[in-house]
Amino acid sequence: MKAYYLVKNGNSNNAFELRDINLSEPKADEVSIEVEAFGLNFADVMARLGYYKACPPLPTVIGYDVAGKVIKKGANVKDIEIGQRVTALTRFGGYATHVNTNQSGVVPIKDNTDATVATALATQYSTAYYAAEFSMNLQKGEHVLIQAAAGGVGTALTQLAKRKGCIVYGTAGSDEKLEYIKNNGVDFPINYRKQDFYEYIKAQKGEKSMDAIFDSIGGNYVKKGLKLLAPGGRLAMYGAAQIAGDSDKKSLYRQLKILFGFGKYSPTQFFGNSQALIGVNMLQIGDFKPYILKKCMSDVVDLYNSGEIKPFIGKVYDAKDLAEAHNFLQKRKSVSKVVCKW
């Protein structure tokens, strides 16, 4: 049994070390999984760069999603059988050949489900589903803005919003990505490197025109987003990708700039406009509302099985090329899901 340990913050080439591991017996609510594929998430890049507060002290194994086969289970696990293939959200520990994880983030998949697709369903689709269904309660005909629409969560949000009959505005950072988000269902694609998203939407539809905004960038994006929010609108913030910047070095200056970029808000502003600013953090949902995590995971697997969502796998790496895969995601070259296979 092996795992890639994060041993050093900074450049991906020096960050990971492959080590032997011993897997402990699963606890009462856990299953042990033999991993076929593990997914990368942008939060992993944040953890590698040293920006992720929830990351355990180094050396540690990071990684939020795996697909594989259950080889053992704890006494309380009733609805998952040994030998079943599953998709699983891991609370770190995913960059491994074997991992134990709580049953609340584990859902069986069909024998013919591609393991790489199954990793996309875990963190990115379940986060998007929780945000779209539970936090934002999207309605038919609503105008929705999705930041980083070409990313893993962005791809999932676009498909879920279109499924609800929403009109989708989406941002991405290159013309190739713009083509991708258009094909994925975005009605108004915006290359934010060429056009400020706030100015574009203001010119097209005016301020106070968006019913729902999904923001994973943070700072001034949220401030501008709130100006675009209609009365009755909701803005969900679930990431602050801007903090990663373009460097491998941590920058306090950038962190402060983003923090101040958010601006200041008063509760009366939200009350007065019947608006909501909603935070989404799936680790907290997993810890405090595990039944909701389970529902999100089960629902996205059902939507996949019925063909209502179509995860796109942007790139598959051999696990030995983990450093390269990380760099690819950090440098914003990726579209949708990036996966490593053992």
Interface contacts to ligand NAP, rule CB under 6 A: 41-43, 123-124, 127, 148, 150-154, 172-173, 177, 216-217, 238-239, 241-242, 244-245, 280-282, 332, 334
Of 81, 83, 100, the C-alpha closest to 32 is 100
175 backbone dihedrals φ, ψ, rounded to 5° = -65, -35
Decide whether 70 or 198 has the Cβ nearer to ligand NAP. 198
Decide whether 160 or 230 has the Cβ nearer to ligand NAP. 160
CB of 168 to ligand NAP, least distance (A): 15
Decide whether 72 or 91 has the Cβ nearer to ligand NAP. 91
Residue 327: count other Cβ atoms within 10 Å of its Cβ.
Answer: 18
How far, in Å, CA of 65 to CA of 91, rounded? 8
CB of 22 to ligand NAP, least distance (A): 29
Decide whether 94 or 245 has the Cβ nearer to ligand NAP. 245
Decide whether 79 or 175 has the Cβ nearer to ligand NAP. 175
CB of 113 to ligand NAP, least distance (A): 20
Angle at alpha carbon of residue 31, lines to 27 and 34, rounded to 5°? 130
Decide whether 1 or 54 has the Cβ nearer to ligand NAP. 54
Q: Which residues contact 154 (CB under 8 A, 6 or more apart)?
A: 146, 147, 148, 170, 172, 181, 214, 216
Q: Give the strand pairing for 106-108 and 85-89.
A: antiparallel
Q: What is the DSSP letter of 125?
A: I
Which residue in this structure is represented by tokens 């953090």?
A: 281
CB of 185 to ligand NAP, least distance (A): 16
Residue number of the CB closest to ligand NAP reads 151
Decide whether 10 or 173 has the Cβ nearer to ligand NAP. 173
Residue 277's DSSP bridge partners are 235
How far, in Å, CA of 342 to CA of 340, rounded? 7
Long-range CB contacts (within 8 A, 24+) of 230-235: 230/143, 231/273, 231/274, 231/275, 232/273, 232/274, 232/275, 233/208, 233/273, 233/275, 233/276, 234/135, 234/136, 234/137, 234/275, 234/276, 234/277, 234/278, 235/275, 235/276, 235/277, 235/278
CB of 25 to ligand NAP, least distance (A): 29
CB of 158 to ligand NAP, least distance (A): 11
Distance between terminal CA atoms of the chain? 11
CB of 24 to ligand NAP, least distance (A): 26
CB of 342 to ligand NAP, least distance (A): 20
Decide whether 34 or 215 has the Cβ nearer to ligand NAP. 215
